[in-house]
Amino acid sequence: MPPTKLIVFSAPSGAGKTTIVKHLLAKYPQLAFSVSATTRAQRPHELHGRDYYFISQAEFEQKIAAGEFLEYEQVYGGTYYGTLKAEIERLRGAGRHVVFDVDVEGGLHIKAFYQAEALAVFVKVSSLEVLAQRLNARNTESAEKKAERLAKATKEMAYATQFDTVVVNDDLPTALARAEQLYEQFTAA
If binding is defined by CB under 6 A, does position 14 make contact with ligand ADP? yes
CB of 132 to ligand 5GP, least distance (A): 15
Q: Which of 98/153 has CB closer to ligand ADP?
A: 153
Give the x/- contact pattern for ligand ADP in 142-171, rule: CB under 6 A: ---------------------------x--
Query: What is the DSSP track for the chain?
Result: -PPPPEEEEE-STTSSHHHHHHHHHHH-TTEEE-PEEE-SPPPTT--BTTTEEE--HHHHHHHHHTT-EEEEEE-STT-EEEEEHHHHHHHHHTT-EEEEE--HHHHHHHHHHHGGGEEEEEEE-S-HHHHHHHHHHH--S-HHHHHHHHHHHHHHGGGGGGSSEEEE-SSHHHHHHHHHHHHHHHHH-
Closer by beta carbon to ligand 5GP, 13 or else 169: 13
- Per partner kind, with CB cut-offs from 5 to 8 A, the member of ligand ADP, ligand 5GP, none near residue 102 is ligand 5GP
What is the footprint of ligand ADP within residues 76-105 (CB under 6 A)? none
Q: Is 81 in the site for ligand 5GP (CB under 6 A)?
A: yes
Site string for ligand ADP, 110-139 (x = CB under 6 A): ------------------------x--xx-
Residues of the shown chain interacting with ligand ADP in the complex, contacts defined by CB under 6 A: 11, 13-19, 134, 137-138, 169, 172, 175
